[in-house]
Each structure stands twice: as structure tokens, then as C-alpha cells.
Amino acid sequence: MKLYDSKPAPNPRRVRIFLAEKGLEVPTVQVDIGRRENRSAPLLAMNPLGGLPFLELDDGSVIAESVAICRYFEELHPDPPLFGSGALERASVEMWQRRMELELFRDVTGCFQNTHEFFKGRIEQVPAYGELCKRSALARLEWLDQELSGHPFVAGPRYTIADITALVAIDFGRVVGIRIAPEQKQLARWHEAVSARPSAKA
Amino acid sequence: MKLYDSKPAPNPRRVRIFLAEKGLEVPTVQVDIGRRENRSAPLLAMNPLGGLPFLELDDGSVIAESVAICRYFEELHPDPPLFGSGALERASVEMWQRRMELELFRDVTGCFQNTHEFFKGRIEQVPAYGELCKRSALARLEWLDQELSGHPFVAGPRYTIADITALVAIDFGRVVGIRIAPEQKQLARWHEAVSARPSAKA
């Protein structure tokens, strides 16, 4: 099996952190997004939408989408459970993972894609939308700060994939000025704790 | 348990179709989005982000996010498996569900939110982004048409939650002129098949 990875991009980092939390090592192939290697013919033949990361299995099957790759490893190596355990916790982790993805991660990457120099000429940018994403992401950080006063981790009492999505979104937010505000004490406490885990360096 | 529902909105329809496929009936409360009932104090106290649907359990816990609600019922009632069965199929269904959500559903709703009269004055609209979403969604339909030549349903040989997300996205797309083109025969074949299932009326 091979993980097609890109060190600087946020989605591949989600999978690397997940694997580190599981104590798993998977051979990786570094793909240079700057040179559009992810859109080269051999890679598009494996993953037609051109995103990263994706996982190539030994029989040639391909699993794309960061959370789908994580789900695959969760099924094969259930401990520690990073998607929750039991119906209610699994649903709750899914809810929080989706909130972090759709309300935070997507706004951070939407801001980056629509305002950052890196994407100029690569995609059609709508800067006004990027700015809206930024305001929206900053508002979500305020909300998340309040939520974290009720639970140590994003989805509740233990570390899950929702923490991974939130951490990667917030760290990547720095490139577009989306940062935790000094008064967001709960968020800062959480960020310090999840960043101190060895997996955060993955 | 109570499902807070809204008949005209796309996300609640995803859960209603899912429940119908499982043969489950859950008491529902209709919430009038036009009158912003979803943003009234009692509902925000249950679901602070104001979205629909959400599920209130008998102990007062709340599960928001359509896919998280579906996951809850999948865990309690695994048959028929709508999230797949076994590691590889579960990962593959997750991949396809995410593709349908992030590449299609989000663009359809992004187009609606940023261009449609309904949202004027309700949210800050960026029409240029809405138009970009429309072009992107139409391109994804072309791609999906090709993919469906290889498998009867979105994620492979059987009906899954990925079909539900795609069906709801495509049906909702009509309000903003995102429609299956006459030459997209595979997509039309799939759409006819999934629309003929009794669950499509849910």
C-alpha cells in the first residue's frame, strides 16, 4: 500500500496525524502540488479528481478523500477509536467532524483558494468570497472557544478525528491570517494540548 | 426521539430518504425556515449553529448534521447497510459520500445561497461565487456521468448514502438550473432508478 502525500497541504496532514495516533506507518509518495504532479496523467488515472491524499492498495484499488482513508484504517485498527465507539458516540464524533470540516476547514481553505497568491492563475478566484470565508471562520473560532468550555476535546471527553480536522484547519489558517484570538482561552488551551501530542508533527 | 425537519430544504430530505430506506419511522417536528424558526431561541439552545435537520433524543442529547443522524441509525439498524460493510467498502462509500457532498451538494447549495432570491437580505451573497459553483457542479455532473458507466450506483454495486446525497443535490439543483444534460445517459439512467425507489418521495 502507498499513500500519495504532500507535506505542505492540509488534507494530507489530516491522514498523517491520524496514522501517527494509531501508531501506524504507511509508505508514502511525495507529490509536488506546486508542479501540478497531482494533475499528471498517471495520478489522474488513479484519482480522477486530482486531490491529495489518496491511498493505493496492493490490488490497485484507490481510496481518495482524507476522511475515507482514515475510516479505512479505523476499520482495520479500531484502537484507539478515533471515530468514537457505540452508536451515540460515533454519531457525535461524525457531527463534530462535519462541523469542523464544513464550518471551519472549508472556510479556511476557501479563503486560501480565493485570496492567496499561490492559486492566482491556477483556479478562478473570487476574492470577495474568500473574505467572507475569513469572517465566517473567525466567527466559528469564537463559537468553538465557547463550546470547548464544556469539553476538553472537540467532540467530548476524548481525542478524535474532529480534533485532527480542527487542528489542521487552524494551523493552516495562519497563512491567511485566521488565528486564535488572545481572549479565546479555551481554544488556546485545547490548541496547546493537541499540538503537544507527538502526532501533531506528522 | 424527535427529528426537527423542514420539508423544502435539501439536508432534511437526506435523512428522510435514509430512514425510508431503513424502513424506520421517527416522529418529526416541522420547522419553518422561511420564518427563521430554526434560529429561534429554543431551537438554537438545542442546536447552536441553527441548521436543520437535527435529532433530539429522549435524554435530551442532540445529534445535528444529516450524515451524523444517518450514521446513528446505521449503527442501531445495520441492515440494509447504507454506509457499506467491511473496511474497504466502508471506506469506498465514505469516499463517494464525500465526493457527492463536497464536489456536488456543496456547489449546488453554494449556488443557491449566493444567487437565489430566497437568501437576499438573509445572508451576504457573492453572486460571482454562486456562478462559479454552478459551472463547477455542471462539470461534476459530466464527470459523474462517466463514472456511472462503471457501476450501477454511485459508490458501486449497491445503493448507499452516496446515492442519497447525489439525488438530493441533483433534485435541488433544479431551482438554480443545474440539471442532467440530455447526453448524460448514465446519469439519467441512475437518476431514474433511484427516483423510482419509494424512499425518493420521503
Domain CATH number, residue A143: 1.20.1050.10
pTM: 0.97
Residues B35 and B58 in one domain: yes
DSSP B2: E
Cα-based angle B200, B137, B34 (whole degrees, multiple of 5): 60
Mean pLDDT of chain B: 97
Q: Point out the domain boundary residue: B76, B107, B135.
A: B76
Residues A104 and A181 in one domain: yes
Q: Point out the domain boundary residue: B76, B108, B124.
A: B76
Instruction: Give me A154's grid cell.
Output: 472537540
| Chain B residues within 8 Å of chain A (Cβ atoms) | 48-49, 57, 61, 63-65, 67-69, 71-72, 75-76, 86-88, 90-92, 94-95, 98-99, 102-103, 106, 114, 124, 126, 128-129, 132, 143, 147
User: Taking CB atoms and an 8 Å limit, are B129 and A124 in contact across chains?
Assistant: no
B125 found inside a domain:
yes
Is there a cis peptide before residue A78, judged by omega within 30 degrees of 0? no
What's the distance, Cα to Cα, between the start and end of chain A in Å? 19
Report the percentage of chain A scoring pLDDT > 70.
100
Instruction: Give me B136's grid cell.
Output: 463547477
d(CA B55, CA B65) in angstroms, rounded, equals: 9
Burial B81-104 (b: 16+ CB within 10 A, else e): bbbbeebbbbbbbbbbbbbbbbbb
Decide if pLDDT at A128 tops 90: yes
Tens digit of each residue's pLDDT (9 = 90 or more) over A64-82: 999 999 999 999 999 999 9
Question: Taking a C-beta distance cutoff of 8 angstroms, is the pair B198, B20 a contact?
Answer: yes
B15 found inside a domain:
yes
* SS3 assignment, position A154: coil
Say how many CA atoms lie within 13 Å of A190 toward its Cβ. Answer: 30
B82 found inside a domain:
no
**Count of structural domains within chain B:** 2
Distance of CA A103 to the CA centre of its chain: 12
Shortest CA distance to A187 belongs to which of A137, A141, A136, A145? A145
Residues B67 and B105 in one domain: no
B122 found inside a domain:
yes
Tens digit of each residue's pLDDT (9 = 90 or more) over A10-36: 999 999 999 999 999 999 999 999 899
Residues B170 and B110 in one domain: yes
Orientation angle between helical segments B87-98 and B161-173, nearest 10 degrees: 10
Residues B66 and B117 in one domain: no
Residues A72 and A94 in one domain: no
Residues A104 and A197 in one domain: yes
Residues B124 and B166 in one domain: yes
A194 found inside a domain:
yes
Q: Which domain holds residue B170?
A: 87-201
Predicted local confidence at residue A122, as pLDDT: 87
Mean pLDDT of chain A: 97
Low-confidence stretches of chain B (pLDDT beneath 50): none
Query: Which residues of chain B neighbour A75 with C-beta distances below 8 Å?
Result: 86-87, 90-91
What's at A106, amino acid-wise?
A: R
Provide the pLDDT confidence category of residue A194 given band limits of 50, 70 and 90.
very high
* SS3 assignment, position A188: helix
Distance, in angstroms, between A163 CA and closest chain B CA?
A: 16
Q: Point out the domain boundary residue: B76, B108, B127.
A: B76
Distance, in angstroms, between A126 CA and closest chain B CA?
A: 6
Residues B52 and B99 in one domain: no
A131's CB contacts (< 8 A; 6+ apart) are A111, A115
A81 found inside a domain:
no
Shortest CA distance to A54 belongs to which of A116, A103, A12? A12
B108 found inside a domain:
yes
Shortest CA distance to B104 belongs to which of B173, B12, B17, B196? B173
CA-CA-CA-CA dihedral for A16, A19, A24, A29, to nearest 10: -30
B81 found inside a domain:
no
